[in-house]
Amino acid sequence: MGRMKSLIGVVLALLLLVAGAGIAGAAPKMIIDRSHGQTADVSGFASVLVSRGWEVFGDQVTEVVPLTADTLNTCNLLVVTQPSTLDFSPDEIAAVEAYVQAGGGLWVLYDEYGPAFNALPQAFGVNFNNDLVWDLTSDGTQYTEEPPIVVPASLQSHPLFAGVTDFVYMAGTSLSSFPATDPATPPALPVVLTGSAAGYDDGFLFWSYPPVLAAGEVTRPDGTVGGRVLFIGDMTPLASTVYPTLGTANKNLLDNIVAWVMKPEPAPPEPPKTIEVKINIRPWNPHNTISLGERGFIRVAVMSDAKSKFDAATVDPKSVKFAGASPICWKLQNVNCDHQKDLVLVFWVPDLKDLSCDSTAAELTGNLKNGTAIHGSDSVQILPTGKCKPPKKCEPPKNDKCGGKKGK
């Protein structure tokens, strides 16, 4: 038929155009299954992928990554091409199901007339029919005139088909719905596309089948939505480097597939809630006076509070800043005789960079040992000494006649 089986390498290499820009934060990770006799050359894809910050496992035929819970735990996208020598074991299927239910992305590509190893896709409600969908012109050779599969208007609003109204399906197998092995997992066929053209090639009759692509979100046993899965019966959904006139629509579709299927990085945690704490500047002293510029020390206490159940012992002293200064030492002491120990911190006065001669309050910030932020403030009186010493008053000189006697 003139088909190039090695085009799966092209598919994956072009997949990188999107994948490299996929997930912010930690490097995204892809596992390409090699444990079931797959021999597709994806080295070109992997090398570019790595250059863009991805971690790729299974890019070489000899690099077999076992499909276990441990290996899949940090995976963003699991790519499975058609097994050629071995079907998936029950343990492997269970691991992949758990991975997808936890939010992982699964993309399965099969091809025409290959061994019908369907245990994995059937677990998600999909069956590859081991037949042939041939979408060429009548003589089977005019790829540049190949009629595209038209995306129905009802599906063009789906993220998979954003900007895609049609695409080329080279030659592959059809898909059908299959009762999922897990009753809690519905068939993953909410999105389907149907093959189109019919023609002759080498005396064989090829006809169209529904569908050729299926995708869906997996539902967990508790009814919440897990990860996404996509099944396509063609190993070459994008062949723009081989057939340049066919590339644009297929590339857009592949871009959308990667963006939609892959597991996103977890959202960054929300900033911790800040706890307001009571502080006492110069405990055991009724006056919160500070003389800036003096070379001395000042104590500040973070107070425990029985009413709010705040324990000052939970504060991380190394994280504390008072008026821009870090403590030089600290100690748990009972400041106000309430049978609770407070955290007393000692600061070097010249380090109080956030205070000025006009300051009337001072702030303390820091974190609890669990990372929760704290904040407290107290009034302060800056003494008119040192660098805050007021200027001398301007008084007229004594016996100054200022130019003569009064009135003259």
For residue range 58-78, what is the model confidence (pLDDT) as tens digits? 767 678 889 999 999 888 889
Distance CA 19, CA 12 (A): 10
In the chain, the percentage of residues whose pLDDT exceeds 70 is: 68
- Tokens, residue 150: 């038209």
Q: Based on the domain organization, do 247 and 282 belong to the same domain?
A: no
pLDDT grade, residue 261 (50/70/90)?
confident
Quote the crossing angle between the two packed helices 7-19 and 247-261, to the nearest 10°: 60
pLDDT(130) > 60: yes
Q: Based on the domain organization, do 167 and 195 belong to the same domain?
A: yes
Q: What is the CATH number of the domain that holds 217?
A: 3.40.50
Q: Based on the domain organization, do 247 and 284 belong to the same domain?
A: no
pLDDT grade, residue 17 (50/70/90)?
very low
Residue 398 counted as domain residue: no
Residue 406 counted as domain residue: no
Q: Which residue has the tokens 């006649």?
A: 401
- In whole angstroms, how far apart are CA 197 and each of 113, 169, 214, 324? 18, 10, 19, 73
Residue 395 counted as domain residue: no
Among the three residues 232, 261, 290, which one is the final residue of a domain in this structure? 261
Distance CA 139, CA 142 (A): 7
pLDDT(240) > 50: no
Task: Please tell me which residue, 384 or 402, carries the higher pLDDT value.
Answer: 384
Task: Please tell me which residue, 347 or 44, carries the higher pLDDT value.
Answer: 347
pLDDT attached to residue 256: 83
Q: Based on the domain organization, do 193 and 340 belong to the same domain?
A: no
Q: Based on the domain organization, do 321 and 375 belong to the same domain?
A: yes
**pLDDT tens for residues 147-198?**
567 787 878 888 888 888 877 776 778 888 887 666 555 555 666 555 543 3
Among 40-49, 120-129, 221-230, where is mean pLDDT lowest?
40-49
Question: Edge-to-edge strands of the sheet including 225-232?
Answer: 55-57, 29-32, 77-81, 105-109, 225-232, 213-219, 191-193
Q: Based on the domain organization, do 217 and 294 belong to the same domain?
A: no
Q: Based on the domain organization, do 169 and 279 belong to the same domain?
A: no
Distance CA 345, CA 104 (A): 48
Q: Based on the domain organization, do 235 and 164 belong to the same domain?
A: yes
Q: What is the CATH number of the domain that holds 312?
A: 2.60.40
Distance CA 229, CA 368 (A): 42
Task: Please tell me which residue, 2 or 113, carries the higher pLDDT value.
Answer: 113
Mean confidence (pLDDT) of the chain? 76
In the chain, the percentage of residues whose pLDDT exceeds 90 is: 30
Residue 400 counted as domain residue: no
Q: Based on the domain organization, do 64 and 117 belong to the same domain?
A: yes
pLDDT(334) > 90: yes
Instruction: Count structural domains, the chain.
Output: 2
Residue 404 counted as domain residue: no
Task: Please tell me which residue, 13 or 236, carries the higher pLDDT value.
Answer: 236
Helix, strand, or coil here: 366?
strand
Position 150: which residue type? Answer: V
Domain of residue 326, residue span = 275-388
Burial (0-12, 13-18, 19+ Cβ within 10 Å), 65: middle
Half-sphere exposure (Cβ direction) of 104: Cα atoms closer than 13 Å: 23
Q: Based on the domain organization, do 90 and 165 belong to the same domain?
A: yes
**Distance separating the N- and C-terminal Cα atoms of the chain:** 124
Overall pTM surpassing 0.75 (yes/no): no
Q: Based on the domain organization, do 336 and 238 belong to the same domain?
A: no
The enclosing H or E element of 345 equals: strand 342-348
Residue 202 counted as domain residue: yes
Residue 140 counted as domain residue: yes
pLDDT(105) > 80: yes
Q: Based on the domain organization, do 192 and 131 belong to the same domain?
A: yes
Residue 403 counted as domain residue: no
Q: Count of H helices and E strands in the chain?
A: 6, 25
Q: How far is CA 5 from the centre of its chain?
A: 34
Beta bridge partners of 105: 77
Helix, strand, or coil here: 207?
coil
